[in-house]
Amino acid sequence: MNTANPLPGPHGRQEPLLSVRSLGAAYGHIEAVSALSLEVRQGQIVTVIGPNGAGKTTALAAIMGVLPATGSVCFDGEEVSGDGVEQHVARGMALVPETRALFASMSVQDNLELGTFRFRREPRAARMQALDEVYELFPRLKERRLQEAGTLSGGERQMLAVGRALMSRPRLLMLDEPSLGLAPLIVRDIFRILAELRQRGVSILLVEQNARAALKVADEAYVLELGRVVMHGPAAELANDPRIIETYLGAAGRHQRTLVSG
Ligand code: ATP
């Protein structure tokens, strides 16, 4: 398994949409992410898998500018490290955090409309179009548009969190453990929607403990352990790698708690 860049696609090599080089992030003296390098190409789903505490959430927060970090983050060929969240969103990056960060006492629709902050100076019609697209992708949210977010089921809350991120029309959608706490059938729904988003041209960086589901949907995968990339390659290859099977996929694997079947 290589740790270098992915092979060129059928259309030859193109500039990555996201390129992270030697990213480091620490909490005080504790280094949570060290020398992390990864790439997301246009139209790819790239997953980062790894056990609890590997540094997955920290890596996303550092890439998004939520946490201070060392190293380099390039988006669409431009160096963006050091910029804040708002600038990242304006460029077309969006993060769905593990906590979902919804406003429980606000309606589904009001939560979604908060996601159009990036377009606040544009006519309402443009924002409404984004809303229509999200409702087309998640008809359940449309049915429940007047319901308070706090009363939604876990799966619906995850759909709302993804929908709200999509309201900013991101080119890169980053998701932190979207399967967390969800039943297998709902996980399958969410991952089907991620594949559909890739079809629509959204590139995705997916952080997951659910290695089986993540490797199934992803094009490329990185394995993070103790803050470092220990393996990297095409997702289909990793899914067949004996080390991955033993540690993350096998029936006796150590990280089976949240895996889905089929
Ligand atoms: P999980 O899957 O459990 O969410 P993770 O791979 O996302 O794990 P992180 O949450 O990024 O891992 O944590 C990486 C390391 O950083 C862990 O050792 C964790 O204890 C530590 N850490 C995370 N957040 C903080 C914080 N706010 N202050 C101090 N240490 C932290």
What are residue 39's DSSP bridge partners?
Answer: 19
Question: Which CATH number belongs to the domain containing residue 83 in this structure?
Answer: 3.40.50.300
| For ligand 1, atom 19: residue with the closest CA | 53
Q: Does 65 reside within a domain?
A: yes
In a domain, 7, yes or no: no
Residue nearest to atom 20 of ligand 1 (CA): 53
Residue 55 Cα to ligand 1 midpoint, Å, equals 6
Asked if the structure places residue 227 within a domain, the reply is yes
- Residue 214 in any domain: the answer is yes
Q: Determine which residue's CA is closest to atom 16 belonging to ligand 1.
A: 32
10 falls within a domain: no
The predicted structure's pLDDT at residue 69: 94
In-domain check, residue 44: yes
Domain count, the chain: 1
Classify each residue of 148-171 as buried b or exposed e, where b means 16 or more C-beta atoms within 10 Å of its C-beta: bbeebeebbbbbbbbbbbbbbbbb
Containing structural domain, residue 134: 18-260
Residues with CB under 6 A from ligand 1: 27, 30, 32, 50, 52-58, 209
Atom of ligand 1 nearest to the CA of 207: 7
In the beta sheet, which residues pair with residue 74? 19, 79
Lookup: tokens for 93: 């990056």
pLDDT at 10: 44
Residue 46 lies in a domain: yes
Q: Does residue 12 belong to any structural domain of this protein?
A: no
The confidence score (pLDDT) of residue 13 equals 57
Q: Is the pTM of this model over 0.75?
A: yes
Residue of minimum CA distance from atom 21 in ligand 1:
32
One pLDDT digit (tens) per residue for the chain, 262 residues? 443 344 444 444 578 999 999 999 999 999 999 999 999 999 999 999 998 899 999 999 999 999 999 999 999 999 999 898 889 998 999 999 887 778 888 899 989 988 776 666 677 777 788 889 899 999 999 999 999 999 998 889 989 999 999 998 899 999 999 998 888 888 898 999 999 999 989 999 999 989 999 999 999 999 999 999 999 999 999 999 989 898 888 654 445 444 444 3
